[in-house]
């Protein structure tokens, strides 16, 4: 199991992650854009979102740090743009932690299958901390 920092940026993730990769002398990051995701006719992707970073990560000194751009129209506040991501191989534990943390909090996305994970969800706990849950199937 791992808890990873997840940093959100306002359209400049690519610049930031390339800078951090250079600073920490990591491998060049693999970048998935919102435009790389499968199209959904119910939610057409705005043109301005297509080249924004949906997800990338770096291993910095042994820790995974993940990055993404904020989707157009979503709120962005510098200082509140850090989330914690639970990446775990045990789906039962993932569900247990999710259900405990959602008590008194707000669920942004119930645990569900996505195109990148068999089980993903997001919530903000009663203390205002946003948690991302991701099943690690390798």
User: What percent of the chain has pLDDT above 90?
Assistant: 54
pLDDT tier at 99 (50, 70, 90 boundaries)?
very high
Q: What is the mean pLDDT of residues 33-47?
A: 92
Domain stops at, among 43, 69, 95: 69
CATH number at residue 115: 3.30.720.110
Residue 75 lies in a domain: no
Residue 20 lies in a domain: yes
Q: Domain residues for 42?
A: 5-69
Q: Note whether 11 and 55 are same-domain residues.
A: yes
User: Taking the alpha carbons of 126, 65, 134, 80 in that order, is the dihedral positive or negative?
Assistant: positive
Q: Note whether 61 and 91 are same-domain residues.
A: no
pLDDT one-digit tens code per residue, 50-98 = 999 999 999 987 889 999 999 998 888 877 788 888 888 889 989 999 9
Burial 23-55 (b: 16+ CB within 10 A, else e): eeebeebebebbeebeeeeeeebeeebeebbbb
Q: Note whether 19 and 56 are same-domain residues.
A: yes
Q: Residue 127: CB partners within 8 Å, gap ≥ 6?
A: none
- Residue 75's pLDDT is what? 87
Residue 47 lies in a domain: yes
Strands 82-88 and 120-124: what pairing? Answer: unpaired
Q: What is the mean pLDDT of residues 35-41?
A: 91
CATH number at residue 63: 3.10.180.10
Cα–chain-centroid distance for residue 33? 12
Task: Provide the domain count of the chain.
Answer: 2
Phi/psi of residue 14, each to 5°? -55, -45
pTM for this model (two decimals):
0.72
Q: Note whether 43 and 96 are same-domain residues.
A: no
Domain stops at, among 69, 100, 125: 69
> Which of 89, 95, 136 is closest to 112 using CA atoms?
95
Residue 61 tokens, joined: 């000194």
Q: Note whether 22 and 64 are same-domain residues.
A: yes
> Which of 79, 80, 54 is closest to 67 using CA atoms?
54
Domain stops at, among 46, 69, 92: 69
Neighbours of 68 (CB within 10 A): 24
Residue 77 lies in a domain: no
- The DSSP secondary structure of 78-113, one letter per residue, reads TTS-EEEEEEES-HHHHHHHHHHHTTTSEEEEEEE-
- Residue 77's pLDDT is what? 83
């Amino acid at each position: 199991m791992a808890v990873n920092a997840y940093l959100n940026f306002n359209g400049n993730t690519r610049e930031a992650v390339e800078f951090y990769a250079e600073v920490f002398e990591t491998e060049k990051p693999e970048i998935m854009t919102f435009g790389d995701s499968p199209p959904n006719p119910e939610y057409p992707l705005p043109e301005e979102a297509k080249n924004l970073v949906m997800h990338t990560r770096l291993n910095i000194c042994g820790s995974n740090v993940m990055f993404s751009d904020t989707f157009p129209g979503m709120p962005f506040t510098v200082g509140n743009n850090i989330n914690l991501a639970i990446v775990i191989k045990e789906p039962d534990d993932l569900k247990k932690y999710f259900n405990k943390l959602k008590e008194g909090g707000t669920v942004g996305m119930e645990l569900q299958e996505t195109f990148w994970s068999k089980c993903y969800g997001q919530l903000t706990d009663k203390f205002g901390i946003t948690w991302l849950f991701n099943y690690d199937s390798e």
